Amino acid sequence: MTLITDVALRRVLDSRGNPTVEADIRTENGGFGRARAPSGASTGAFEAVERPAREAIAAAREQAVPRLVGEVYAGDQRSVDAALRAADGTDDLSTIGANSAVALSMAAAHAAADVLGAPLFQHLGGTFRGDGFPVPLGNVIGGGEHAAESTDIQEFLAAPVGAPSVEKAVFTNAAVHEAVGDLLADRGVAAATGDEGAWAPAIDDSEALSVLAEAVELVSEDVGFEIRIGLDVAAAELYDEGVYRYSHTTRELDEQMAYIADLVERHNLVYVEDPLTETEFEGFAELTEQVGGHPSPRTGAGETGTLVCGDDLFVTNVERLTRGIEQGAANSILVKPNQIGTLTAAFDATERAVAAGYSPVISHRSGETEDTTIAHLAVATDAPFIKTGTVGGERTAKLNELIRIEHNA
């Protein structure tokens, strides 16, 4: 019913102006699906390998397309992704590139949903998935690898945990973004925006947190529900020869853990991603023991607990996640399909996480396109949170898709 009949690949622009891979898949019965690969800047060392778009496309045309056309059904996602893996032949997808792989994998899902006449989230998640919505974590101030001359911590996130709907949550994050801009202007701080549309002022992390705390309080009073704060420290980018190097100081592992624990307590953080470097399973376990808990978004105010999330630590990889689960490292996993190259692998990581009591957080990359697949993935997996920026066309593409999903539009 969904036999793949045609595949096309091309280079298109991403939000940084770099070329990325777009895939089209056609099936019998008129199915059509299109998807694009995103691209990271603060990539984890253990991610699947992205190849230059031109090379990834040439390799995929040669190796993967013949194994798809007339061979597999787009609606059978595991077969599609197994064919991609077999065509590639490496563990890290370095033959066809994780960028070609993920674009093809996601395009197949879109094509199958098209044949079925079902929205993608329903095709992926089924009819009996949960009926909650993912709370968007809004990146409103950022530095690190996403903006030069700004904060050391990569992302300062607004988390509208008390929002009664996706729509309210989305507009709340935009309001926090605007309030942060106003507060920075009041302080006489000029700010451009970074790769994900977050403000990138030349202030230190503690000032960024105090500006965000003020913005969150203002907006929270206005909207009448709780907004908490999260961070993506992206600590692997700060880590250098055994220590964490900040602009004005250096922290040893124990100092870094104490620093994070203090931030969690002081700001009642709901979420802290990659507080330690990508090989530090033990430290993650200790920190999780200390501050970890499972906040319940969508249930209103008063919930406490902090998600300690592994992004570069796990790279959406079931084996790395399994090691984390065995050691008690983190209690949450960031899920980025392009880190692992296929939807099947992203789903497997998500399922493994949920089975172990870890919260999955579906995520964009700093380099994005108008692709909306992750919005559907977050709904399909009933993820409590989604990280997909706050403003800017490639970010709003996902946020607006979440609103449409909520409205059955």
We find the least distance from the C-beta atom of residue 311 to Zn ion, in angstroms, to be 4
Q: Which does 43 bind (CB under 5 to 8 A by kind): Zn ion, ligand PGA, none?
A: ligand PGA
Q: Which is nearer to ligand PGA, 43 or 288 (CB)?
A: 43
The residue whose Cβ lies closest to ligand PGA is 40
Burial code of 366-377, b = ≥16 C-beta within 10 A, e = fewer? Answer: bbbbebbbbbbb
The residue whose Cβ lies closest to Zn ion is 311
Task: Verify binding: residue 15, ligand PGA, rule CB under 6 A.
Answer: no
Task: Verify binding: residue 232, ligand PGA, rule CB under 6 A.
Answer: yes
Q: Which residue has the tokens 């935009």?
A: 174
Burial of 290 (0-12, 13-18, 19+ CB in 10 A): middle
State how far the alpha carbon of 310 is from the alpha carbons of 147, 254, 324, 402, in Å: 22, 18, 9, 24
- Which of 155, 336, 398, 401 is an active site residue? 336
Lookup: tokens for 164: 């009664």
- Which of 22, 47, 50, 196 is an active site residue? 196
Site for Zn ion in 304-363 (CB under 5 A): 311
Q: Which does 365 bind (CB under 5 to 8 A by kind): ligand PGA, Zn ion, none?
A: ligand PGA
Which residue in the set 366, 372, 388, 396 belongs to the binding site for ligand PGA (CB under 6 A)?
366
State how far the alpha carbon of 289 is from the alpha carbons of 257, 296, 308, in Å: 12, 18, 10
Which residue in the set 152, 232, 278, 401 belongs to the binding site for Zn ion (CB under 5 A)?
232
Q: Which does 41 bind (CB under 5 to 8 A by kind): Zn ion, ligand PGA, none?
A: ligand PGA
196 is catalytic: yes
Which residue in the set 26, 85, 228, 365 belongs to the binding site for ligand PGA (CB under 6 A)?
365
Identify whether the C-beta of residue 292 lies closer than 8 Å to the C-beta of residue 305: yes
Identify whether the C-beta of residue 70 lies closer than 8 Å to the C-beta of residue 4: yes
Q: Which is nearer to Zn ion, 196 or 311 (CB)?
A: 311
Q: Which is nearer to ligand PGA, 232 or 401 (CB)?
A: 232
State how far the alpha carbon of 209 is from the alpha carbons of 23, 86, 89, 132, 384, in Å: 40, 47, 45, 29, 23
Interface mask (CB under 6 A) for ligand PGA, residues 28-67, using x and -?
------------xxxx------------------------
We find the least distance from the C-beta atom of residue 275 to ligand PGA, in angstroms, to be 12
Nearest to 330 by CA among 290, 365, 363, 362: 290
Q: Which is nearer to ligand PGA, 235 or 261 (CB)?
A: 235
Please name every residue paired with 13 in a beta bridge, in sequence order, or none if there are none: 19
Nearest to 129 by CA among 322, 333, 392, 376: 376
We find the least distance from the C-beta atom of residue 366 to ligand PGA, in angstroms, to be 3
CA distance 385 to 364: 12
CA distance 252 to 126: 47
We find the least distance from the C-beta atom of residue 239 to ligand PGA, in angstroms, to be 14
The footprint of ligand PGA on this chain (CB under 6 A) covers a number of residues equal to 10
Q: Which is nearer to Zn ion, 162 or 341 (CB)?
A: 341
3-state secondary structure 367-407: ECCCCCHHHHHHHHCCCCEEECCCCCHHHHHHHHHHHHHHC
Q: Which is nearer to Zn ion, 27 or 154 (CB)?
A: 154
Residue type, 32: F
Active-site residue list: 196, 336
Residues that bind ligand PGA (CB under 6 A): 40-43, 232, 234, 311, 363, 365-366
Residues that bind Zn ion (CB under 5 A): 232, 311
